[in-house]
Structure 1
Amino acid sequence: MTQIKTVIVDDEGRIRRGIERMVRSLGDEWEIVGTFSDGLEVYEAVTNQSISFDLLISDIRMPEMDGLTLNKKLKSHLSFLTIFISGYDDFEYLQTALRDGAVNYILKPIDKEQFQIQIDEVKQKIEMLYEEKQEWLTMQEKASQLEYTKQVQLLSEMTWNEEKDISYLDWTRQFPGGCGCYQLIHISVDQVLSKTRDFLPEDWNKWSQAIEQIIEESVEAEIQVQLFNSWWWRGSKFSYWILLHMEERSHDYEFLPRKFTEQLRVTIQKITPFTASIAIGHEFKDLALFSNMKYDLLTLLQFRMIQGGNRVFQADSFQDIKGQKSKGISSSILKYTEQVINSFAQGKKDELLRSLQGFFREVEALPSPLMIKEAVHYLLIGIANHWIENDGYSEDPDLLTNALTITKQAVNFIQLKDQVKVWILQVMEKMVGLKKEQQNPIQVAKEWIKNNLGENISIKKIAQQVYMNPNYFCDYFKNQTGETILDYVTSARLEKAKELLEKTDLKIYDIAISVGYQDTKYFSRLFKQWLGQTPSQFRDQYFKSTADK
């Protein structure tokens, strides 16, 4: 085992030095970390110099601070064993010492053989305490690893799952909450399909493992050093996710993820035959917004179609796109693009259609499909950028993703024009709804929730009713009401369930479904967690109390 750290305290120098000699004679496993002439000296050394030890050997009676007072003060914030040195007339002191947790005591004058016996007993107890501590630390580590594995599994499932009812957001309670912020990162290897001919199946497995090792080592080396909580997991083939959480936001927080992801991108390119594009999302406080952030990053990676891969894309890149002009886009196309976007922003449908006609007249004359695709994408991104600037993008996280697939799906130029026109007009219609004033968005949201308790309720759907960004809506709702949107929906559903239990003879299964829970066991467990009784117990007690009246 490690050395037993010992502190010796006695106001008589001769006795103090004698105890020190006897301790040193016991062998190398005993280490004296300090000798002191008074209890006050020890206390000040511990508090000012952060001295720690396993065994305190102390005289009981000392002038400034006696051994009993010292032992009691130090026990309030340190864990150690104590042997008191005492005279024959200190019996009452010794009783107090034993009550205060002293291991044993040695009478003056100190007998060397008796001292050896006492020290051996102490050594056994310290070794036993050390083993118990190590077992506890091992158990804690295993429990922490199990919890981490469970958390990663939950995140992985939410990455694959489509939008679900808000009741499923109960999984977020397994993660840190109440303070700090989260940030999601998505890593996607570039040009996987173009390299399928170059590698055998075993090669793919080798490089996949290599990339995973790079991510794992990077997370451990960079993120954890910065006192982040972090989780990483696999997405689809050759794509990966990282979730960061920081309880206290430092002044340089916004630079850390960017620095980390840039280094990660460089490392993947250096060690593997691949490059990778990485998307970094906005910060968010409520993990209930995970799905929205996931879709944001999937959409953000679409920009590599325009800008190329092997880049780090940040959520604010949307704002930068508006000012970028491709060398392959002519000035006439740029002019019509600006006219379309201006008409869109002003809600002038007729002007928009005329400008769009001019835009496609110029695009149709382009010599290659690639140039047509780039020009159309430039227009679509411009429209999406205006949508973002008006806090509407997250109302429809698939907005730009769906738009950028138009060039892939269209079989001819006529179909391309029609689909682009339809998409822009649909977004314009959404903008009209977005700009409608809401007198009381909280009341509108609550009313809609109560009217749809049995339906699939998601944060996105609720935010759509009040034309708000889901991220902003979650913060707004909590600031205005003092509770999270998840807690409000759960409370509203359980209140409705109570009403049905009291006023109807519906089966528990039917009541669960009618308030939005498809899993009866989950409904019953949640009901008991919130109300202290199962639905059946609640109903029985209600009818019993009614009958007694």
Structure 2
Amino acid sequence: MINIMLVDDDVPMIKYLRQLINWEELGLNVVGTSYSSIKALEMFKQFKPDLVITDIGLPQMNGIELASELKQIKSDVRMIFLTCHEDFHYAQKAIQLNADSYLIKDELTKDQLEESLKDSINKIKETSVSLEGLSYREILNRNIEILKHSLFDRLIKRDEPEMLIQFAKKLDINWQYPSFILGTGHISLSTFMEKYSYQDLSILKYGFYNISCDVAKKYHGITFFNEEESIVFVYNYRQNIKFDHHQYIQSLLIEIQEKICELLGLEISFIYGRQSFDIKNIGFVFQHMIHNRYQFFYHTEHILNWDKETKQSAFWPISRLLDKEMNELVIAVKEKDSKSVKEILTVITQTAAEKNLDPEELKKVMARRIRLIELQYIETGNEEFYSFLEECSRLSDVVKLVENKLTQLIQWNGKMDGASRREPKLQEIDQYIVQNLSENVTSTDVAAHLYMNPSYFSRYFKRLTGENFTDYVHRFKIGVAIKILEQTGESVEEVAIKCGYSDRTYFSKVFKKYTKMTPREYRSKVGY
């Protein structure tokens, strides 16, 4: 008998699978079922089944990530993936995950399931030989992605160059020249959300990686890695003034972009270094690129050059700079005015780019205001949207995501009557903070003011703004402090006391947390 395990967080789907066919007649023994990927991993360690059927869109750890973990435990385990998305057929050719079948839940029939299972059974029988009997090449092919990840991890940790080169050579990666260029690739999250849902991100990212590897076969010296932060490529080459290496890289990246647009319908962007460096500095350069990921936040090009010597320009704190536009967005959605939404977002885009506003703060301000709007129409927001917004490293992506979200809210607005709308209390909360600016305002104080249960208020406020009350109050007060520093000659001590901070050192620490500079540095920068 061949042992099999079923994994799906949809309880009715598990029951449907169990009842759909006679498993024993096919020579299959269902050793366990799990509704959780985490529990499935523990169950797998116990039973080590030969075949696993798993949903792709699992919470905590999705099906793709689960499959990777299972293969590290048992490299020859066969996988059958389930998905509930009809458009998965569109991406299937490009993704080519190491799985036997992909089954669409809504279309699944007894004949389809039996056919897929028989195919997997035959493959299990064909490869029943023990790992000791496999050739080195077969073992390598089975574990290539795990080994490549290990290689990149050792690159980041800056292992000995000779050991890295020898390890790479065992994976058929020949780093024979002293010069390297590093680059990263990213999916446009706004275009992704137009076609797919959040749980598809991992599988589409794998598709991006798979297509990139396929195209790179025609380009000597380029190796792609599928890392958590992004798709990464390393170009190893020999210096030659007669050969334009950057044009060579550009040709590869353009071809990948075109292929991914054709097969997956997605926009992608690349950033790569113009300077060469040796193998022992790859880790340093990669970490520097990740740390300075907002260096290109205001750029719109899809292929950009990065220079590790160029320092990221200082971003300007937003404070209350965009309050007018944010308030106008609330009104535009309420009035179902899509044209005004576009115009307001255009103004926000121009202001942010002209003043080089802090990307992290800009995203938080946008998220906070959208939560405020969203709570007028639905009880709880779509956290997937906020996760994507947080991950955005380009202003163009932020604006597209926000525009799509507000358009969706306008549609919801049109379906509701006035009696069902919920009025948020953020303005009342802000007013209370202003009236008690010199005091240490707590969530309990505001809850009492609003005649709300303190525990409920804390949950309500988190849902309303996306952050806890203490952080919100600090950010609000620092915004007020900035205005006082800009417009008056009051000392830092006086400003601190006025904003409810009796300890000047603590005030400076909080101020620096939200503005990246001390009050004196800020005042000096604005030229007061």
- TM-score, normalization by structure 2: 0.32
Instruction: Point out the structure with max Rg over C-alpha.
Output: 1
- TM-score, normalization by structure 1: 0.31
